A and B are shown apart, each in its own frame.
Chain A
Amino acid sequence: MKADAQVLKGHLDTLLLASLEGGPRHGYAVKEALRAGSGARFDLPTGTIYPALRRLEAAGLVTGTWAEAGGRRRRTYALTPAGRRRLAGDRAAWRDFASAVTAILEPAL
């Protein structure tokens, strides 16, 4: 998990954006989406999701809004159009990179 954590840091922004692609989510749901989507490999401390979301918000890629639900104020996060564009770009770049690495590591026999 420690080794994963270092590698994960470099991709966290993209993964957070991807977890919001299906629609707005609460921070906890974002974290759960990362955990469930990775087969429990990416299990970040929930508290560290918020600084990252805050940074994406400052960069204009995500918007956070407070809403009253069940007698409690809750914050949900959604992708902005710029966030969607960034995600599309990151996804294309990752596909290129991953296919190049795969081509080297697993040459066709």
Chain B
Amino acid sequence: MTTPLIVGYVAGLHRKLPAGLADEAADGLTETYQQHLAAGAGEQEAARAALAEFGDLATVVGEFTRQAPARRAARLLLATGPVAGGCWAAALILSRAWTWPVPATARLSFGAVLLLAVLALLAAATSRHSYRRTRLAMLASQVILVLDATAVAAAALAAPSLTPALSAAVAVSLGRIAFTARMLPRLAAR
């Protein structure tokens, strides 16, 4: 008991959204359609009324995207990024990190990977119509987690002494690691 209009819309939902979300929205659309049928509308008329009441595909997908947990996580990580970056910058300058025995290639690759991860987070955080793009945050936040851990390890192994500024930077990174580790399984679940 359905029409090509409804079938086409549901196919669109499945193209643009993960299966669980598409199923949930499709259930709502079917219910809306059946309410119009029950009220005495013909199949075509009920389908058109249901689609009008439900909202067009771009609006519904856009709303799922705007409220995607991965998009929110990306925004949180980006918002705390300057704090972590500032703490590390201050700590590294105060500890004269350029004198640490860390190879230049390692420093450069750290910077390059960090830049890529931040760009991926930005793409996820600003996505408005593409749910898929918000999923970039999953990969990027895992990379950031590894970078935080690497920075902590480098400070522990290469720093001649643990200054207060360095301790603060390590604490910020550990906090971010704990937050990301707690958030990732929840993101993966949807």
Query: Contact residues of A with B, CB < 8 Å?
Result: 26-28, 45-52, 54-55, 58, 64, 72-75
Residue of B nearest to A60 (CB): B186
Contacts A48-B59, A51-B67 given; indicate if A72 touches B54 (C-beta within 8 A): no
Distance between B112 CB and nearest chain A CB, rounded to angstroms: 33
Contacting residue for A27 out of B31, B53, B67, CB 8 A: B31
Query: Does B81 count as interface, using CB distance less than 8 angstroms?
Result: no
Number of A-B contacts (CB under 8 A): 65
Q: Interface-forming stretch among B21-29, B89-97, B134-142, B145-153?
A: B21-29
19 more A-B residue pairs beyond the given contacts A27-B28, A28-B31, A45-B55, with a C-beta to C-beta distance below 8 A: A28-B28, A28-B32, A45-B54, A46-B53, A47-B28, A47-B29, A47-B59, A47-B63, A48-B59, A50-B25, A51-B60, A51-B63, A51-B64, A51-B66, A54-B67, A58-B186, A73-B23, A73-B27, A75-B24
B130 in the interface (beta carbon within 8 A):
no
Interface presence of B3 (CB below 8 A): no
Question: A45 contacts which of B23, B24, B30, B59 (Cβ < 8 Å)?
Answer: B59
**8 Å CB contact of A48 from B29, B55, B186:** B55
Q: How many residues of B contact A (CB 8 A)?
A: 23
Check if B35 is an interface residue, CB within 8 A of chain A. yes
Interface residue ranges of B97-126 to A (CB < 8 Å):
none
Chain B residues numbered 6-31 whose CB sits less than 8 Å from any CB in chain A = 21, 23-25, 27-31
**Nearest Cβ distance between residue B22 and chain A, in whole angstroms?**
10
Expressed in whole angstroms, the minimum distance between the Cβ of A34 and any Cβ of chain B is 13
Closest A-chain residue to B31, C-beta based?
A: A28
CB interface residues, B 147-190, toward A, < 8 Å: 186, 190
CA distance A47 to B28 in the complex (A): 7
Are A28 and B35 in contact, with the CB atoms below 8 A? yes
Which chain B positions have C-beta within 8 A of A64? 24
Report the Cα distance A50→B24, complex, angstroms.
Answer: 7
Query: B55 touches which one: A28, A46, A75 (CB < 8 A)?
Result: A46
| Docked CA distance A52–B67 (Å) | 7
